[in-house]
Every structure is written in structure tokens, then in C-alpha cells.
Amino acid sequence: MKKILIIGATSAIAENAARIWAKAGCSLFLVARSQERLDVISKDLIVRGAVGIDRFCMDLTQFDQQDAMLNAAYAFLGEIDVALIAHGTLSNQAACESSPQITLQEISVNALSVISLLTVLANRFEERKSGMIAVISSVAGDRGRQSNYVYGSAKAMVSAFTSGLRQRLAKSNIRVLTVKPGFVDTPMTKEFTKGPLWAKPQTVARQIVEACNSKGGILYTPRFWWAIMAIIKLIPETVFMIIKL
């Protein structure tokens, strides 16, 4: 029976991952902004087989509350076998371009709050010398593109940070997994027209849980995004300047 901490537990991907863990009889500690949503999800996960559930309501950008949250998580779970960090917002690029406040707010939600949390969490994990941390970054972080470079640069920071953390914590027998989903059909992306590249959150969640149980440091999900991003990263700057992406 695994003990699992999920940050951003009401996101579609995290919720679907939680359902898989619940079915396997895990204990879960859920963190999200909305109490109302957490209540609905907790009940559901108990019916699906979760052995124990507790929840904590907070805005992750309130950095000073992160300690209290982690203390509550450790008090409930005892140890943490898997920590999944899944919170975030999809920035409106146009709004970001018009306002430094909005841009910084997006960076704060998608990068700084994750970095702050990982800094504390890493030390706690390092003491125990076991467990794993999975962090949802994005393919958008692989190369800044005009259509969403604010979101992309925040995710790039998460990818770089987790890369370094992975190297550091490997020495303490701790795995750090950077998850890079492509297009996922969730409430976060409801404004987009969906094409064949879009994946269901259930599929992405299943691949994340599978990756948590196996090896490897970076997960592109669905996996074909590895190839797409490899090509996008290879496009020379001169060509990149004249195309839209």
C-alpha cells in the first residue's frame, strides 16, 4: 500500500492518476484550492478503493503555507512514497504580453510555487532515502514558441530544475520524474479545437502511474511527443523566425 501526496489534485490528469492509485488501495493526501472540488473527489476515491484520504485546501502561490501543508501531509501519511506535483494554469499568452503583472503571476503559479515546494520536499525525501517525486512540466518547456512562451518558459524552469534535482537525489536513491504531456483534453484546454494529436487525461494519467512504477527520468506522454519535440528543437533559428508555431 503506497502513500501518495498529490498537489493540484483537482486537475484532470492528477485526478485520473489518483483513481488508479485508489483502485490499487493506496492512501492519498490531496492538495488543491477548492474545498468543494476536493470533497467530491475524495468521496469518489474512497468508493474506488482508497484506503485513506485527507485533504488540504490552499493556494500554492501562498508560499508561507507550504510548510504547514507538508507537515499535515506527513502527519497523515507517515511517509510519502510518491509525490505528484500537478498544479498549474494555462497562461493566456496575449494577456501576458500586455501585462507584466499577469506574466509574473503565471510564472509564479507554474514555476516558482513548484520550485519552492520541491526545495522543501527534496530535503525531506533526502533524509529518508527512498520514494519518488513526479512533476508535471510540459512539452511547451522544450522550446519557447510565440504562441505560449510565458507558460513555456515557466515549464522550462521546472524541467531544468527537476533535471538538476534528479541528478542530486539519485545519490540518495530517490527518483525524480519530469512529465512532459503534449496536448491533453482537459478543462484547462477547453478553448482549443481538438485534433488527432490530442490525448485523453486518462491515457496520460495511466502513463504517469506506469512511469512511477518503472525507470527513467523524463516521460513524454503520449510518447510520440518525444519525436515531435526533437524535430521542433532542431529547427534552425533562421527558419524558426519565419514560421508560426
Residues that bind another protein (CB under 8 A): 12, 36-37, 40-41, 43-44, 47-48, 187, 190, 193
Instruction: Evaluate whether 34 touches 40 at the Cβ level (below 8 Å).
Output: no
Q: Which is nearer to another protein, 65 or 189 (CB)?
A: 189
| Beta carbon of residue 10, minimum distance to another protein (angstroms, whole number) | 8
Q: Which three cell numbers stand for residue 12?
A: 484532470
Helix (H), strand (E) at residue 52 = strand 52-57
Q: Which is nearer to another protein, 164 or 187 (CB)?
A: 187
| Beta carbon of residue 202, minimum distance to another protein (angstroms, whole number) | 10
How far is residue 64's CA from residue 12's CA, in Å, rounded to a whole number? 26
Q: Which three cell numbers stand for residue 29?
A: 493526501
Q: Which is nearer to another protein, 41 or 174 (CB)?
A: 41
Instruction: Evaluate whether 218 touches 178 at the Cβ level (below 8 Å).
Output: yes
| Beta carbon of residue 31, minimum distance to another protein (angstroms, whole number) | 17
* Residue that has been written with the C-alpha cell 525524480 in this structure: 176
Q: Which is nearer to another protein, 16 or 162 (CB)?
A: 16
Which stretches of 171-224 are DSSP H helices?
Answer: 201-212
Q: Which is nearer to another protein, 36 or 237 (CB)?
A: 36
Nearest to 102, CA basis, from 145, 150, 58: 150
Q: Which three cell numbers stand for residue 209?
A: 502511474
